[in-house]
């Protein structure tokens, strides 16, 4: 049996990596894909390992493994560095027959392993992108990112503020404009009145967070979210006079790239659930205070529907230009 190896950080995994791995597998019986990581990496190693395992879950001949990158010495020349790598690999894995890479290190690394080197597309003509390109400009390189990886880079935008200020309407409009998904206010699927319990508010918080996770998998670059965990906390305090700890945990787990605070300068519309029309200014102040307390920047949304749309569109366009 011929054993091959592909090494790298895969930070993040992109279509060039997948092309390399597919090419490598065609030249060996069993392929080891070794993901190196450190605690300082900008993308957690466990996340990268999960991406690769998900992509190749139906190919048992491709072994995905993760190793702590504590065996390198970047102060040494490449020949000496690859000796250190080879010593580690020889202890960690079965004898390697073939090293497949797109980099200059491939030849000396294979030599130090006593293996043959196979070079794949070093000029990146087949997939003209690098992990650095994607980390720096993910939106501009969107088509090079595998579907399982895209949710990590989706920009989450929160429409935030008091009731009946146009958040739901605008979330739908912006999702249609950007050909993407939006997350509705999930509370409306769980309760039918404001006579709810602590268990209800916990269920709302969990369901809202889960819906963001689910919709992120379907979103096209940006996801518009009608409410967040801070909003659920505010209404929990307003109606129940207490906030369960789980809502603060959910706030830490689901974060947003941009907040839009909606001013209450549009007509209040009753819908059977809203009952704070007389307190919209007071509630808006609470919403604003919650963001400022957390040092979360926000963009104020006010004026006509057309003016609101243009303010949001302009800011989101800037967000997606990164």
**Tokens found for residue 126:** 């087949």
Give the mean model confidence (pLDDT) for residues 210-218. 97
E strands present in 24-113: 30-37, 62-68, 98-101
Q: Which DSSP state fits 303?
A: S
Q: Find out whether 287 and 229 touch, Cβ atoms under 8 Å.
A: no
Cα–Cα distances (Å) from 142 to 124, 152, 172, 296, in that order, read: 17, 12, 23, 27
- Please give the mean pLDDT across all residues of the chain: 94
pLDDT band at 270 (very low <50, low <70, confident <90, very high): low
Fold of 154-320: Rossmann fold (3.40.50)
Tens-place pLDDT, residues 279-299: 789 999 999 999 999 999 999
| Tokens found for residue 177 | 């404009």
pLDDT digits (tens, 9 = 90+) for 151-203: 999 999 999 999 889 999 999 999 999 999 999 999 888 887 778 899 999 99
- The C-alpha atoms of residue 213 and residue 317 are separated, in whole angstroms, by 23
Contacts of 45 (CB under 8 A, 6+ apart): 35, 36, 37, 38, 66
Stretch(es) of the chain classified as CATH 3.40.50.300: 154-320
Residue 272 is predicted with a pLDDT of 61
Overall fold of domain 3-144: Rossmann fold (3.40.50)
Diameter of the chain measured on Cα atoms? 78
* φ and ψ at residue 191, rounded to 5 degrees: -120, 155
Q: Are 133 and 15 in contact (CB under 8 A)?
A: no
Portions of the chain given CATH number 3.40.50.620:
3-144
Q: Which residues of 143-181 are buried (b: 16+ CB within 10 A; e: fewer)?
A: ebbbeebbbbbbbbbbbbbbbbbbbbbbbebbbeebebb
Task: Indicate if the pLDDT at residue 119 is higher than 80.
Answer: yes
Phi, psi (degrees; rounded to nearest 5) at 217:
-70, -20
């Amino acid at each position: 049996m011929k054993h091959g190896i592909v090494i790298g950080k895969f930070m993040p995994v992109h279509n060039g990596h997948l092309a390399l791995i597919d090419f490598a597998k065609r030249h060996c019986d069993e392929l080891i894909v070794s993901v190196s990581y450190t605690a300082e990496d900008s993308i957690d190693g466990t996340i990268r390992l999960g991406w690769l395992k998900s992509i190749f879950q139906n190919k048992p001949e491709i072994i995905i493994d993760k190793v702590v990158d504590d065996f390198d010495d970047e102060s040494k020349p490449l020949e000496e560095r690859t000796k250190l790598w080879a010593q580690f690999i020889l202890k960690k894995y079965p004898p390697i027959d073939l090293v497949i890479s797109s980099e200059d290190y491939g030849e000396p690394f294979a030599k130090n392993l006593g293996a043959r080197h196979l070079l794949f597309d070093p000029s990146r003509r087949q997939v003209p992108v690098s992990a650095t390109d994607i980390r720096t400009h993910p939106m501009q390189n969107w088509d090079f990112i595998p579907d399982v990886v895209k949710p990590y880079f989706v920009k989450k935008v929160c429409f935030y503020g008091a009731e009946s200020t146009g958040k739901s309407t605008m979330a739908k409009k912006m999702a249609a404009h950007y050909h993407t998904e939006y997350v509705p206010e999930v509370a409306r699927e769980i309760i039918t009145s404001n006579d709810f319990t602590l268990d209800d508010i916990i269920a709302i918080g969990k369901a809202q967070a889960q819906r963001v996770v689910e919709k992120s998998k379907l979103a096209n670059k940006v996801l518009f979210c009608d409410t967040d965990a801070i909003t659920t906390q505010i209404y929990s305090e307003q109606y129940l006079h207490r906030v369960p700890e789980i809502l603060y945990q959910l706030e830490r787990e689901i974060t947003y790239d941009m907040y839009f605070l909606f001013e209450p300068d549009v007509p209040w519309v009753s819908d059977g659930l809203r009952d704070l029309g007389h307190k919209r200014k007071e509630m808006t102040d609470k919403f604003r205070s919650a963001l400022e307390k957390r040092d979360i920047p926000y963009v104020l949304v006010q004026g006509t529907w057309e003016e609101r749309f243009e303010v949001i569109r302009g800011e989101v366009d800037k967000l997606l230009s990164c």
